[in-house]
Structure 1
Amino acid sequence: MAGPGSGGMEDVAGGKSRFDEVYGGPDPRAYFRRLAPLEYEIPHHAQPVFRQAATERAALGDARTRRPAVLDLCCSYGINAALLNHDVTLAEMYERYTSPAGRTMSTEELAASDKEFYAARRRPDALPVFGLDVSAAAVRYALKVGLLDAAFTDDLEQGPPGPDLRRALAEVGLVTLTGGGSYITARMFTELLDGVRGPVWISAFMLRTVSYRPIARALAAYGLNTTVDVSRTYPQRLFTDEREQRYAIAAVRALGGDPAGHEENGRFYSLHYESRPGTHPMTNRPQR
Structure 2
Amino acid sequence: MTEAQRTGSAAGGGVGVAVTAAVEGMVQFDELYDQPDPRAYFRVLGPLDYRTPGHAQGIFRRLRSVLDPMGEGPPPTVLDLCCSYGINAALLNHDVTLDELYARYTSHEAASMSTAQLAAWDREFFAGRRRSDRVRVVGLDIAPRAVAYGRAVGLLAEGFAENLEEGPPGPALRRAVREARLITVTGGTSFLSQRTFRPLLSAARGPVWVAAFVLRTTSYAEIAGCLAAFGLATERAAPTFPQRRFTDERERRYAVDTVAAAGHDPEGRESDGYFHTALHLSRPTSDVVMTPLDTLVP
Q: Which TM-score applies when normalising by structure 1?
A: 0.92
SS in 2 for 1:70: strand
Corresponding residue of 2:98: 90
* Whole-Å separation in 1 of the counterparts to 2:253 and 2:186: 22
CA contact (8 A) 2:33 2:41 kept: yes
Corresponding residue of 2:236: 228
Q: Tell me whether 1:258 sits opposite 2:265 in the alignment.
A: yes
CA contact (8 A) 1:32 1:97 kept: yes
CA contact (8 A) 2:8 2:23 kept: no
- Within the candidate set 40, 45, 52, 1:42 is matched to 52
Name which of structure 1's ranges 180-189 and 167-176 shifts more when overlaid on structure 2: 180-189
Q: Tell me whether 1:5 sits opposite 2:8 in the alignment.
A: yes
Corresponding residue of 1:286: none
* Whole-Å separation in 1 of the counterparts to 2:9 and 2:196: 16
Q: Which residue identity is paired with 1:255?
A: A
* Whole-Å separation in 2 of the counterparts to 1:60 and 1:154: 34
Aligned 1:1-288 pairs, distance under 5 A? 1=3, 4-5=7-8, 8-59=18-69, 66-230=74-238, 232-278=239-285, 279=288
The change in CA–CA distance for 1:258 and 1:229 in structure 2 (over 3 A counts) is same
Instruction: Quote how far apart the aligned CAs of 1:101 are.
Output: 1.1
SS in 2 for 1:54: helix
* Whole-Å separation in 2 of the counterparts to 1:60 and 1:201: 18
Deviations 1:202-229 (A, max 9, x none): 0111011111111111100000001112
Q: Which residue identity is paired with 2:34?
A: G
* Whole-Å separation in 1 of the counterparts to 2:125 and 2:91: 13
Name which of structure 1's ranges 41-50 and 253-262 shifts more when overlaid on structure 2: 253-262
Aligned-pair Cα RMSD in Å: 1.9
SS in 2 for 1:71: strand
SS in 1 for 2:47: coil
Deviations 1:100-132 (A, max 9, x none): 111011111100000000000000111100000
Runs of 5+ in structure 1 lacking a partner? 284-288
Q: Which TM-score applies when normalising by structure 2?
A: 0.89
* Whole-Å separation in 2 of the counterparts to 1:229 and 1:200: 18
Instruction: Quote how far apart the aligned CAs of 1:13 are.
Output: 1.1
Q: Which residue identity is paired with 1:191?
A: P
Deviations 1:147-180 (A, max 9, x none): 0000011111112111110111112110001011
Name which of structure 1's ranges 143-152 and 208-217 shifts more when overlaid on structure 2: 208-217
Deviations 1:1-32 (A, max 9, x none): 56743895323111112222112210000110
* Whole-Å separation in 1 of the counterparts to 2:125 and 2:74: 28
The change in CA–CA distance for 1:96 and 1:208 in structure 2 (over 3 A counts) is same
Instruction: Quote how far apart the aligned CAs of 1:66 are.
Output: 4.5
* Whole-Å separation in 1 of the counterparts to 2:253 and 2:139: 33
SS in 2 for 1:101: helix
CA contact (8 A) 2:75 2:134 kept: no
SS in 2 for 1:233: strand
Runs of 5+ in structure 2 lacking a partner? 11-17, 294-298
CA contact (8 A) 1:115 1:146 kept: yes
SS in 2 for 1:175: strand
Name which of structure 1's ranges 184-193 and 207-216 shifts more when overlaid on structure 2: 184-193
Off by >3 Å, runs of 4+ in structure 1: 1-8, 59-62
